[in-house]
Structure 1
Amino acid sequence: MTKFSDIRCAAFVSGAGTAVRKGTSMMKAAQFRRFGGPEVLEIVDLPEPHAGPGEVRVRVRAAGVNASDWKKRSGQMDQELPQTLGYEAAGVVDEIGDGVAGVRLGDKVVGIGGGGAAQAEYAVLSTWAPVPASLDFTAAAALPSTAETAARALDQLGVAAGSTLLVNGASGSIGSAAVQFAVHRGARVIGTGSPASHGRLRSLGAEPVAYGPGMADRVRTIVPGGVDRALDVAGSGVLPELTDLAGGAENVVTLADFAGAERYGVRFSRGDSGRAEYAIALAMRLAEEGVFRIPVGRAFPLEDIAQAHRTGESGAVRGKLVLTVG
């Protein structure tokens, strides 16, 4: 498996630059000042952020929307107010912090950071990669958090060449990213999803299985001895079945069932246990090669962020939701 340092060195080959900082200029950003439904979201004026050591600032062109956004907005996570939103963005570098090499002003990049305020006109990135020519800003912004989350879970499971992985919820954004990364590592992948998603799962390299009652029996018709590892992306209450199929709770990771993880002794994957930052550059490279893709379900202008939240919470749109800026 390629190391993060190898990917980063390969990704950043141009020279460094310096920008003049602009004092206390203001920008438009998404914010909420009280917890509640999408109606609490506002577009407000905030001071522009600036790149610190090891960071770059981008003029944001697109920013990803994630389930954590509406969990924060509804008060299920951080309790501080007011709060800004977003930690992944694609845009044009317009400011470079001290100690940063290999990127120039005007470069198109995508990454994570933003201090929780990437859904704005400007964002500071702590980890980034060039946007390949085959992707526009909207498509690029759909990748960072999805790729990092999927790769982190695979790392925690130790998925490698020759292993057999079951992905529960393989048709969603994170699930399909996990399928593609696992296939890239040389693993055999079985993915659960609705029958309507099976064609796409096959195109990603997975062997599809219908979810719902009898799922474990259907998996065993493909792999009678069970699987080596199992990843739960859907949180659909199947951790006991996954544990049995994978030969023990130590071989299962969930991204969606915190209560079940505690009950059954399964690991719940968190970013605070170490992020797979290398996955952003890897996803961009594989996307350029045509072997990695996360479809954009729908894009909304920044000012329509409330509608983006309504759409995301409804589950009516397949694929990643993205905000466009400017």
Structure 2
Amino acid sequence: MPRAVRFDEYGGIDVLRVEEVERPAPGPGEVLVEVKAAGINPGEAAIREGRLRDVFPATFPSGQGSDLAGVVAETGEGVGGFAPGDEVLGFTEKRASHADFVLVEAGNLIMRPSGIPWEAAGALFVVGATAYAAVRAVASGPGDTVVVSGAAGGVGSLAVQLARHTGATAIGLASEANHAWLSDHGVIPVSYGEGVADRIRAASGGSVDAFIDTFGADYVELAIELGVAPDRIDTIINFAAAQKYGVKTEGNAAAASSDVLAELARMIDQGALELPVARTYPLDQVREAFRELEQRHTRGKIVLKP
């Protein structure tokens, strides 16, 4: 029987289990996808832990997962453009992609370009749409210097590349272990920690135009200290600081569409964008996957492969 990740209560990784479930049947407008790869994201951990229960409450037993890539198994009534055997990528809004099979609204899928590996295709939507929205929010453009915190993470690694594609100079805050990767992608690497403001000023020539915070901590305050205008600061995580300083909080929801997904997929297919994959895990090791995610030191994405 097909398997799916489930949890029955809020809690740590120990509440996660993989159980056998009935194979879903597509309804009108739905596509049943046999999942080949599905990314995991910090937001899923936050939902499972109950930290977002006021905004995204769980109904138990709950599944999890948004990102996915796989092969069309069946199509429901009224679905056009997809047929069994098609290779696709996309997203579900029903917290269900961490499974062998998932039902997806046809409008949330695109064909998988041949140049995108399964692992990257199955991990693209959440981080891709988030990075796309953040770069757009800070109005990155030619002549700008844009700083990105967490620049080697899932969102940050895409944000620095997308900022460069707008014509901006990108400065990426990351550990030294990730500096070579950033340099190889045309990004100026800067180590985080004590003295980071001075290192950023030196790397930027003294002027920073925009700041994207993908990590949290005190990076919004750092952006303010560097003289960045609040309307050119975007944080996807520190909402208290955003409210205090009046900075933006545009993330995944601001760019969640198949059109944005298709644009990002084309860039990867053409070699203009890379989504690094740190590690893959089989579905039955979902706990181990989230344990690594919670360390917050991976380059790019962690992906489940059912």
Report percent identity of matched pairs.
35
Which of 96, 101, 109 is matched with 1:117 structurally?
A: 96
CA distance in 2, matches of 1:274, 1:139: 19
Q: 3-state DSSP class of the match of 1:83?
A: coil
Shift in alpha-carbon separation, 1:151–1:62, aligned structure 2, 3 A: same
Unaligned runs of 5+ in 1: 1-25
Contact conserved, 1:232 with 1:255, CA < 8 A, in 2?
Answer: yes
CA distance in 2, matches of 1:272, 1:134: 27
Contact conserved, 1:152 with 1:276, CA < 8 A, in 2?
Answer: no
1:226-276 alpha-carbon deviations (Å, 9 max, x no partner): 222110111131212212435321110001212222222222234445525
The offset of 1:39, in angstroms, is 1.7
Contact conserved, 1:243 with 1:251, CA < 8 A, in 2?
Answer: no
With 72-81 and 42-51 compared, the bigger mean Cα shift is at: 42-51
Contact conserved, 1:149 with 1:276, CA < 8 A, in 2?
Answer: no
Shift in alpha-carbon separation, 1:159–1:54, aligned structure 2, 3 A: farther
Which of 40, 58, 69 is matched with 1:65 structurally?
A: 40
Question: Given the two structures, how large is their TM-score scaled by the length of structure 1?
Answer: 0.84
Q: State the match for 1:212 in structure 2.
A: 193
Question: Given the two structures, how large is their TM-score scaled by the length of structure 2?
Answer: 0.89
* Counterpart AA for 2:49: S
With 275-284 and 190-199 compared, the bigger mean Cα shift is at: 275-284
Q: State the match for 2:73 in structure 1.
A: 94
Q: State the match for 2:240 in structure 1.
A: 259
Q: State the match for 1:21 in structure 2.
A: none
Residue correspondences, number: 300
Shift in alpha-carbon separation, 1:175–1:270, aligned structure 2, 3 A: closer
Unaligned runs of 5+ in 2: none
Which of 144, 151, 155 is matched with 2:125 structurally?
A: 144
Q: State the match for 2:281 in structure 1.
A: 300
Which of 193, 196, 203 is matched with 2:174 structurally?
A: 193
Which of 45, 52, 73 is matched with 1:77 structurally?
A: 52
The offset of 1:135, in angstroms, is 3.1
Which of 228, 239, 242 is matched with 2:223 structurally?
A: 242
* Counterpart AA for 1:183: R
* Counterpart AA for 1:71: A
Q: State the match for 1:232 in structure 2.
A: 213
Contact conserved, 1:229 with 1:246, CA < 8 A, in 2?
Answer: no
Which of 84, 87, 93 is matched with 1:108 structurally?
A: 87
Contact conserved, 2:242 with 2:249, CA < 8 A, in 1?
Answer: yes
CA RMSD of aligned residues (A): 2.2
